[in-house]
Amino acid sequence: MERADAPRAAEGGRSSRWDRSAPIRYPDPDIVVLDPRFEAMMLGHAAIERIATGFRFTEGPAYYGDGQYLLFSDIPNDALLRWCEVTGTVATLRRPAGNPDGNTRDRQGRLLSCELGSRTLTRTEHDGTVTVLASHFEGTRLTGPNDVVVKSDGSIWFSDNGAGIRGNYLGDKAPAELPFRVYRLDPESGGMTIAVGDMKRPNGLCFSPDEKRLYVVDTPSGTKTTWVYDIVDGRAVNGRQFFDGTPGFADGIRCDTEGNVWAAFSGGEGQDGVAVFAPDGTLIGRILLPERCANLCFGGRKRNRLFMTASQSVYALYVEAQGNPGG
């Protein structure tokens, strides 16, 4: 681990480590401690690993402990992919796949996917069939689900922010027919309600461990912030700013069991990767990658392996923290 005041590697050094097979010196110099609270979460003898590469834009990691694999999206390639933890190989799970973005598993272990191309939220059943859970709100077509989490009561919360209709690379260019929002879906009744309606472009989201708070990233043009809401009767209320990452910004986010928020982050040299925030909103550490990071999840047998989807590659790092279930 590197202290905040330790000297950085020479410019280009972080890129060169990925171009050769030589081992990385411990502690990994691209793990940056900004607060003592982060130091306890890092392992001095674990390094960031690039586990797969050669994609166009990776997103939506979801770990399957029962199969020992990581599922993730390659949005422009319209594919759901599977990286095997045992063999290290990548296989195509589904293509075409509706230009999938965020993914997670529900409390029954089924895959939930936000599809930018089809502008639907889908569930892949255990037999492989695909069920559309949401495509419209009050008769009007969604702008394109982006990220999704599941609460312990089975309710599904997802952001809808038009990422796939802004152009033809991640989906199909089209006008937005609804405001950008976070919705709550009751999987039993199929009923949808507006959970968050006061953001410009809601993006990644996650619950605190006690599920009393919902964190939501807002990524409009201009200032990009992450907010926290109180959960009251199925609605997110009392929104207030949790952190402002400007000029960088967060994308996908996850909480660990202690309430720290791990944010996939973009901001250029010295910021691309993961930014970790304590429950009080203090930035306590960074995990630096040579590419901007779009999303992340915890996995592995003990939920202590951080998987990071970052532009053209997927990375992993063992940490001394455990991911909160449901995201």
pLDDT in tens, 177-217: 999 999 999 988 999 999 999 999 999 999 999 999 999 99
pLDDT tens digits for range 107-131 = 999 999 999 999 999 999 999 999 9
Per-residue pLDDT, 16: 65
243 phi/psi in degrees, rounded to 5: -160, 155
140-141 and 136-137 strand pairing:
antiparallel
Confidence of residue 11 (pLDDT cuts 50, 70, 90): very low
Question: Is 251 one of the catalytic residues?
Answer: yes
Q: How many angstroms separate the CA atoms of 282 and 177, rounded?
A: 37
Q: How confident is the model at residue 326 (pLDDT cuts 50, 70, 90)?
A: low
pLDDT value of residue 327: 58
Question: What pLDDT score does 10 carry?
Answer: 38
- Write down the pLDDT at residue 25: 84
**Catalytic, out of 30, 78, 147, 251:** 251
Residue 129 lies in a domain: no
Position 221 confidence tier, pLDDT thresholds 50, 70, 90: confident
Domain of 265, in residue numbers: 2-56+136-318
Residue-wise burial string across 155-182, b where 16 or more C-beta atoms lie within 10 A, e elsewhere = bbbbbbbbbbbbeeebbeeeeeebebbb
Phi/psi at 37 (nearest 5 deg)?
-65, -30
% of the chain exceeding 90 in pLDDT: 88
Least confident of 36-40, 192-196, 220-224, 266-270: 220-224
Digit-coded pLDDT (tens) for 188-198: 899 999 999 99
Q: Is the pLDDT of residue 5 over 70?
A: no
295 in a known ligand binding site: no
| Cβ atoms of 239 and 258 closer than 8 Å | no
pLDDT at site 311: 95
Question: What is the structure's pLDDT at 2?
Answer: 35
**Mean pLDDT rounded to a whole number for the chain:** 93
**Residue 254, domain member (yes or no):** yes
What is d(CA 284, CA 279) in angstroms, rounded to the nearest whole number?
10
Read off the pLDDT of each residue in 47-75 and give the average, rounded to a whole number.
97
The answer to whether residue 81 is domain-embedded is no
**Is 99 known to sit in a ligand binding site?**
no
Give domain status of residue 282, yes or no: yes
Least confident piece of the model among 65-69, 247-251, 261-265, 323-327: 323-327
Helices and strands: H and E segment counts in the chain: 2, 28
Residue 77 marked as a ligand binder: no
pLDDT band at 234 (very low <50, low <70, confident <90, very high): confident
As a whole number of angstroms, the distance between CA 134 and CA 118 comes to: 11
For the cut 70, the answer to whether the pLDDT of residue 135 exceeds it is yes
Does residue 268 form part of some domain? Answer: yes
Which one, of 312, 326, 319, lies nearest residue 53 by Cα? 312
Q: 146, 270, 152: which is closest to 211 by C-alpha?
A: 152
pLDDT number for residue 44: 92
Number of domains in the chain: 1
Q: What is the CATH number of the domain that holds 259?
A: 2.120.10.30
Q: Residue 161 above 60 pLDDT?
A: yes
2 annotated to bind ligand: no
Chain segment 285-297, per-residue pLDDT in tens: 999 999 999 999 9
Residue 323: inside a domain, yes or no?
Answer: no
Q: Kindly state the average pLDDT of the residues 259-277.
A: 97
Residue 279 pLDDT exceeds 80:
yes
Q: 256 Cβ partners below 8 Å, 6+ apart? A: 41, 209, 262, 298, 321, 322, 323, 324
- Can you give the pLDDT at residue 20? 58
Using CA atoms, how far apart are residues 256 and 246, in angstroms rounded to an integer? 24
Q: Which residues fall within 8 angstroms of residue 176, CB to CB, at 6 or more apart?
A: 143, 162, 165
Within a domain: residue 199? yes
Q: What is the mean pLDDT of residues 259-265?
A: 98
Tens of pLDDT, residue by residue over 20-54, are 566 788 999 999 999 999 999 999 999 999 999 99
- Whether 62 is covered by a domain: the verdict is no
Q: Which pLDDT belongs to residue 3?
A: 33
Q: What whole-number percentage of the chain has pLDDT above 70?
A: 93
pTM over 0.85: yes
